[in-house]
C-alpha cells in the first residue's frame, strides 16, 4: 500500500510539466479573415451651408435716416422693388443751398451780360478803352462759368437724392436686413444682404487632405436634417485653389441640379460627393495593417507582406496592391515574426 500511494502521487506531478511542454511546442493561435472583393462607391462627406446663386451687400450711396423698410429678411423681391428708403436731410439741405446759389449766380450773369452789352456800345462809340471792354467780357465769362458749375452741382445732388431709395438690382431674396426705421446710415455702409434668384449653391469647407479626390463635375447629394427624406442632387462646380492656413480647409462649391425652395440660404446641410464610380474593390480591415504591412497566413506559416492601400472608408482600406482575394490575413495585426508557424483559430 505504501509503494502504490507513492506512484499515484507521481502521476499528477509529471502531468504538469508535460502540459507546459505541449503548450510551449504548439504554434501560437491567430484569428484570420478571408479577403473578398466588394462593390464600393468612394465618396467624401462634409457639412456646409446653403447660399444664393450670388450674394451681395447692398448699401446706399448717400447718408441719411431710414424712413421706410418695406421688406423683411426672407422676402422674395423683383428687380426695381423698393427695399429701403432714406431721408437724406444733409444732402437735401446742400441741394437747397446750391439752388439758392445758382439763382444768385444766374442773376449775376444777367447783370454781367447787360454790362457787357453797354460797354461794347461805348467802345464802338470810342468812349471807353479796350481794357475796359475786356474787363466787362471777363466778368461776363466768370459769371457764366459760375452758373455752369452750380448747374452741374444741382444736377449731381438731384441724382444722389434719387438714390435715397435702395431698390433690388435683380429678382432675388432679401437674406438679411441690418437697419431699422430711425437709424442713420452713412454712404457705403452695408444695409442689406441680397441674394439673386436662381439655383442655389452649397459651400463646403473640406479638409485639404481630401482635395486630391475632388474634380469639377463630380456628382453629389445634399441633405438637410429638417428634410431628411428629401435629398437634392448636385454637382461640384468649383474647387478653390487656395487652402485656408488657419483651418487647413479648402472651399468647395456645389451647384444644385434641381429646384429646392425648402432649402433656405444659410441653412446647414450635409453633402456626399461621389469621387469615383462603384467598382469591385478588395477591402482590408484597418486593424490588420501595421506599419504598412499585413500578416498573411499560408500553409500554417505567417508571412509579413507590404501592401499599398487607399484612404480608409468605414474601417476598411481599399487594397491597391500586395494582396489577392481569398487570402487570409491575421486580425488584429500580431506581434509575431515573419515565417513563424501558426495555427488558425476555428
For the chain, where do the domains classified as CATH 2.40.30.170 start and end? 45-53+197-274
Evaluate whether 327 touches 296 at the Cβ level (below 8 Å).
Answer: yes
Residues 11, 6: Cα–Cα separation, whole Å: 9
The reported pLDDT for the residue numbered 158 is 86
Average pLDDT, whole number, for the chain? 88
pLDDT tens readout for residues 260-281: 888 888 899 999 999 877 678 8
State mean pLDDT over 69-74: 91
For the chain, where do the domains classified as CATH 1.10.287.470 start and end? 89-162
For the chain, where do the domains classified as CATH 2.40.50.100 start and end? 58-82+169-196
Residues 318, 85: Cα–Cα separation, whole Å: 61
Cell of 172: 432675388
Give residue 19's pLDDT band: very low, low, confident or very high (50, 70, 90). Answer: very low
pLDDT tens readout for residues 209-260: 888 889 999 999 999 998 988 999 999 999 999 999 899 999 999 999 988 8
Residues 168, 172: Cα–Cα separation, whole Å: 8
Residues 117, 133: Cα–Cα separation, whole Å: 10
Helix 89-124 vs helix 130-162: angle between axes, to the nearest 10 degrees?
160
Under CATH, which architecture does the 58-82+169-196 domain have? Answer: Beta Barrel (2.40)
- The CATH class for the domain spanning 27-40+279-344 reads mainly beta
Distance, C-alpha 67 to centroid of its chain: 35
For the chain, where do the domains classified as CATH 2.40.420.20 start and end? 27-40+279-344
Q: Is the pLDDT of residue 40 over 90?
A: no
pTM: 0.55
For every residue of 263-285, DSSP letters joined together read SPTT-EEEEEEE-S--EEEEEEE
Q: Which CATH superfamily is domain 45-53+197-274 in?
A: Efflux pump adaptor protein, beta barrel domain (2.40.30.170)
State mean pLDDT over 129-156: 93
Residues 314, 295: Cα–Cα separation, whole Å: 21
pLDDT tens readout for residues 303-345: 999 999 987 777 888 999 999 999 999 999 899 999 999 999 8
DSSP 127: S
- Looking at CATH, the fold of the domain delimited by 89-162 is given as Helix Hairpins (1.10.287)
Evaluate whether 49 touches 266 at the Cβ level (below 8 Å).
Answer: yes
Amino acid at each position: 500500500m505504501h509503494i502504490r500511494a507513492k506512484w499515484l502521487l507521481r502521476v499528477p506531478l509529471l502531468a504538469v510539466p508535460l502540459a507546459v511542454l505541449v503548450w510551449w511546442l504548439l504554434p501560437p493561435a491567430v484569428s484570420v479573415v478571408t479577403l473578398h472583393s466588394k462593390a464600393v462607391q468612394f465618396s467624401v462627406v462634409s457639412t456646409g451651408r446653403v447660399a444664393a446663386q450670388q450674394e451681395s451687400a447692398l448699401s446706399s450711396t448717400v447718408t441719411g435716416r431710414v424712413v421706410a423698410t418695406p421688406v423683411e429678411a426672407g422676402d422674395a423681391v423683383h428687380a426695381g422693388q423698393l427695399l429701403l428708403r432714406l431721408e437724406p436731410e444733409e444732402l437735401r439741405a446742400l441741394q437747397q443751398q446750391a439752388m439758392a446759389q445758382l439763382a444768385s449766380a444766374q442773376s449775376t450773369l444777367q447783370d454781367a451780360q447787360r454790362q457787357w452789352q453797354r460797354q461794347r456800345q461805348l467802345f464802338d462809340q470810342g468812349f471807353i478803352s479796350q481794357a475796359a471792354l475786356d474787363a466787362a467780357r471777363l466778368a461776363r465769362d466768370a459769371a457764366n462759368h459760375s452758373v455752369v458749375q452750380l448747374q452741374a452741382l444741382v444736377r449731381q445732388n438731384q441724382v444722389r437724392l434719387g438714390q435715397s431709395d435702395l431698390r433690388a438690382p435683380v429678382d432675388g431674396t432679401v437674406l438679411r436686413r441690418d437697419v431699422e426705421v430711425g437709424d442713420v446710415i452713412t454712404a457705403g455702409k452695408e444695409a442689406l444682404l441680397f441674394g439673386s434668384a436662381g439655383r442655389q449653391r452649397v459651400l463646403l469647407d473640406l479638409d485639404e487632405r481630401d482635395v486630391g479626390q475632388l474634380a469639377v463635375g463630380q456628382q453629389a447629394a445634399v441633405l438637410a436634417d429638417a428634410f431628411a427624406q428629401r435629398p437634392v442632387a448636385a454637382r461640384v462646380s468649383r474647387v478653390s485653389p487656395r487652402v485656408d492656413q488657419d483651418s487647413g480647409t479648402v472651399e468647395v462649391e456645389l451647384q444644385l441640379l434641381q429646384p429646392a425652395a425648402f432649402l433656405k440660404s444659410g441653412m446647414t446641410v450635409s453633402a456626399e460627393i461621389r469621387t469615383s464610380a462603384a467598382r469591385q474593390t478588395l477591402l482590408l480591415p484597418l486593424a490588420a495593417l501595421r506599419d504598412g504591412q499585413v500578416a498573411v497566413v499560408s500553409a500554417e506559416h505567417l508571412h509579413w507582406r507590404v501592401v499599398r492601400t487607399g484612404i480608409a472608408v468605414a474601417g476598411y482600406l481599399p487594397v491597391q496592391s500586395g494582396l489577392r482575394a481569398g487570402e487570409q490575413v491575421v486580425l488584429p495585426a500580431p506581434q509575431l515574426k515573419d515565417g513563424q508557424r501558426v495555427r488558425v483559430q476555428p
